[in-house]
Copies of this chain bind each other. A is one copy, B any other.
Amino acid sequence: MNLKTKIEYFTTPLYLESGRILEPYQIAYETYGKINSDASNVVLICHALSGSHHAAGQYPNERKVGWWDGLIGSGKAIDTDRYFVISTNVIGSCFGSTSPMSDNYPSNKPYRLKFPVLTIKDMIKAQKQLLSNLGIYKLKAIVGASMGGMQALQFAVDYPNFSEKIISLAATYATQPWTIGFNKVAIEAIRRDPRFENGNYEKDAFVENGLDGLAIGRVAGHISYLSPSSMDDKFGRNYVNNDGLFELFGRYEVERYMEYNTDNFSKLFDPMSYLYIVKAINTFNLSRGYDSLYEAILRIKAEVTLISFRSDYLFFPSEMAHISKMMKRNEQKQTYHEIDSDYGHDSFLVELDKFDDIIKEALDK
């Protein structure tokens, strides 16, 4: 793949759900595969909280492949020999799209906490604008997991004729208080960190030493991405070698895992973007703007594939099953798959072989 991050600039305003306006703005994205003559083979990929547009392939200077590289590529479930795949960075995120740390024209200073609150609805509106600019007015499919799965569902409700198929994994119809609670740890930890300076930190301030508040919030995140049984399998009660059991700050393996992952993450991810994206996740509610959840879901015309993971402790299978039941009652086209995976919410990133066939079949049939 000839990998490249492309940036699309927009000078027309984006009217946000809050009543505020984002103008100008930009969206970073990658594409894989080739568009066919009638542009009927386009698949849109939507990322999760900490993800980016870099879903597949590998840059020469990077150690890691894209976050769904196992799923997207030549001969893979989302087959780039067959589909033209577009993966965008959501607005608000810190990987190239307009975010709270972007310059606020005409002042040429970062928005910081003056950045408008964004919602999942706003994110997909911006994505749709990007597709328009690229001359794409109809999609074969939208595929996303977690926050990406929310975007896929929101697309299906807000723009019923836009995508033929929707594949949503490990998401929900509305974020529940349990998940809002986990996000609260990050919100409070970031806000209360003195180095956050109420959003007035310097750009790149945390590249060397990540923000503690974000690292702490991320510890709570990692609890919710795993599950009791996946932690048992992965770590058990193993203690870190050389860390004394009777040292106050001696660690279990599960603690080392969290330290390692969260400290790294806090150097890579902008804490303000984290706050804004978490806000979008918290406020996600398919029914907002419609008379009821029933009315919202009734609008869906796409073929919907819902995939949840039995061990998901962040977005429980029952939440996806709820959408499935409503659609079934309305005789809308849907299939629901509950995957038996032990990796908790993270399953969508880890156990691709448990669901890649489902995605392939949903796309190709």
Contact = CB atoms under 8 A, between A and B. Distances in A.
Interface of A: 17-20, 113, 116-117, 174-178, 180-182, 184-185, 187-189, 191-192, 194, 212, 215-216, 219-220, 222-223, 226-228, 231-232, 234-237, 245-249, 252-255, 258-259, 262, 275-276, 279, 282-283, 285, 316
A264 to B, nearest CB: 14
Contacts of A113: 248
A235 B185 contact: no
A332 B285 CA distance: 52
Contact of A176 (B215, B232, B247, B255): B232
A231 B188 contact: no
Contact of A188 (B188, B215, B252, B282): B215
A187 B197 CA distance: 23
Contacts of A175: 237
B177 A235 contact: yes
Nearest to A275: B248
* Oligomeric state, in copies: 2
A188 B223 CA distance: 14
22 contacts: A17-B246, A18-B245, A117-B246, A117-B247, A177-B232, A177-B235, A178-B226, A178-B231, A180-B255, A181-B226, A181-B254, A181-B255, A181-B258, A184-B219, A184-B254, A185-B185, A188-B212, A188-B219, A188-B259, A188-B262, A219-B220, A248-B279
A310 B118 CA distance: 38
B316 A228 contact: yes
A181 B216 contact: no
A244 to B, nearest CB: 9
Contact of A182 (B189, B223, B245): B223
Contacts of A223: 178, 181-182, 185, 220
A189 B213 CA distance: 8
A236 B279 CA distance: 17
Nearest to A113: B248
Contacts of A285: 237
